[in-house]
Structure 1
Amino acid sequence: MTDEVVGERFSYKASGIRLSDFTVVDCEFSGCVARRTEGSFNLFERIDLERASQMNCSVFEAVFRDLSLRGLKRLGDAPLFLWGCVFERVALSGRISAVKINDFASRITESAEENQRRRDAHDLFVRNFYSKSDWALDIAQAEFPGGISFEQVPGDKIRRDPDRQVLVTRSALAVSDWRALDFDRTAIDIALGWFERYSIFDSVVLAARSDRKWSKRDLAVLARLRDAGIANLA
């Protein structure tokens, strides 16, 4: 049995979260923060969200599994920050506004050595997690008006629309002069730089923005990457 929540407003700060088996429709999440407890990721599993909105929310080190998100609206200026999270069979569709998928978050209260120890353990967990997953994200039916970057998710684990979303491998970047291409102020070159410097994966997906102001430019840059043999649209 799946519980359904309609038209509610949530505001919470918690750690060690385990949420599963419910549907959320037309709900607002305001100032919500999910932090990890030592030794365990948060878990959000078998959840269906439709027409959700968020204001100033952050999730640290969580597993999102068997989840669908059909439409996400940003309230305020801040995106939804996802720090060091992993995804398994998560489908995004509709208009998805302002999501930032970030790397592992260091703690200013810890030494460099302790942060490095936690980072190494986190990266090992992430690699093992995705090695056992059939797919991570499905973004083929999603629109990203303000853009999104996926350097923290293995590109070959993302289902995509090849007309709007391309795959770039680290090996293709390594043998190309990609920085010499005309990126037309789209920031796609910044996304590639993030992938090259900060990702632990061998491939990344680049998605064109759906906003009318940028869509044509983004698609043109993705086509240039394809023509240069850097991006794979198939």
Structure 2
Amino acid sequence: MTARYGRRIAGLRAQPGDEVRDLHVDDAEFLGCVARVSADPAQRLRISQTTLSRCGAYDCYVEGARLEDVVVDGLDTNDMLRVCGSVFRRVVIKGAMGCLQIVPWLHMSYENLQPVYDRANRDFYATVDWALDISQAVGVPLDIRGVPGRLVRRNPETQGLMTFEQALLGSWRSVDLAGTHFSAAPKLLLDEGLEDILLIADQRSPDLAHQVTVLERLRQAGAILPD
């Protein structure tokens, strides 16, 4: 395994067919690094057997990648790290996290490729034992959409899963969601047609106890899945 410590890595541009493997990066900064989508999902950037520990990602963007057997242990971001149209197999996200958004959609400039990636991603997840483990992630609410909830390992105390059917049935309306970011989840599910969505409490928030209470009330109301 190749190790990289305390480095500033700037301006990397991943090309179709590139592969990152057997890499350990500790205490490094990624600046303006981009992984753009490939026209052929079979040629997407592949990252495997890799660990990032105590790193920062600033003005970076990942699109259409394939991540397998990866550990991200602590990640700082200046604004938000967007990971779009990508797939995951046995990826652990833990430790103190900045703003991380995982969504199934490609950038609008690649709109013609969206159906291609939707099919490829569905086929990929049909073979996956588990995709993400976020049970030890700490930080601002992670925004994770499009990864099948059944394939996500989570902390049941601070992380819940709401399905499209639960949002449609509306039992969540019996729970006061005011003052929490959970209030956006039902609308996102219904408007975006997702199968399910993760509700993730911010473990560094001063109102964490309230968020945990709301999650439990949603669970009791049958508005999120039991654990």
| Same fold by TM-score greater than 0.5 | yes
Taking the aligned partners of 2:65 and 2:6, their CA distance within structure 1 comes to: 25
1:116-155 → structure 2 map (5 Å cutoff): 117-143=112-138, 145-155=139-149
SS at structure 1 position matched to 2:66: strand
Q: Is the 8 A contact 2:100 2:142 kept in 1?
A: yes
RMSD: 1.8
Taking the aligned partners of 1:200 and 1:156, their CA distance within structure 2 comes to: 13
| Aligned partner of 1:44 among 20, 44, 47 | 47
| Aligned partner of 1:72 among 58, 65, 75 | 75
1:77-96 → structure 2 map (5 Å cutoff): 78-96=79-97
1:18 aligns with 2:19: yes
SS at structure 2 position matched to 1:232: coil
Q: Is the 8 A contact 2:14 2:45 kept in 1?
A: no
Q: Report the number of matched residues.
A: 223
1:56 aligns with 2:51: no
Match of 1:157? Answer: 151
Taking the aligned partners of 1:188 and 1:198, their CA distance within structure 2 comes to: 16
Query: Offset of 1:176 from its aligned partner?
Result: 2.4
Question: Gaps spanning 5+ residues in structure 1: where?
Answer: none
With the length of structure 2 as denominator, give the TM-score of the two structures. Answer: 0.90
SS at structure 2 position matched to 1:212: coil
Q: 1:106 to 1:54 in 2, by over 3 A?
A: closer
Structure 1 residues 173-182 or 117-126, which shifts more?
173-182
Q: 1:233 to 1:162 in 2, by over 3 A?
A: farther
Query: Offset of 1:217 from its aligned partner?
Result: 2.8
Q: Is the 8 A contact 1:91 1:138 kept in 2?
A: yes
Question: Gaps spanning 5+ residues in structure 2: where?
Answer: none
Q: Is the 8 A contact 2:39 2:113 kept in 1?
A: no
SS at structure 2 position matched to 1:140: coil
Identity between Structure 1 and Structure 2 (%): 29
With the length of structure 1 as denominator, give the TM-score of the two structures. Answer: 0.88
1:232 aligns with 2:222: no
Equivalent AA in structure 2 for residue 136 of structure 1: A
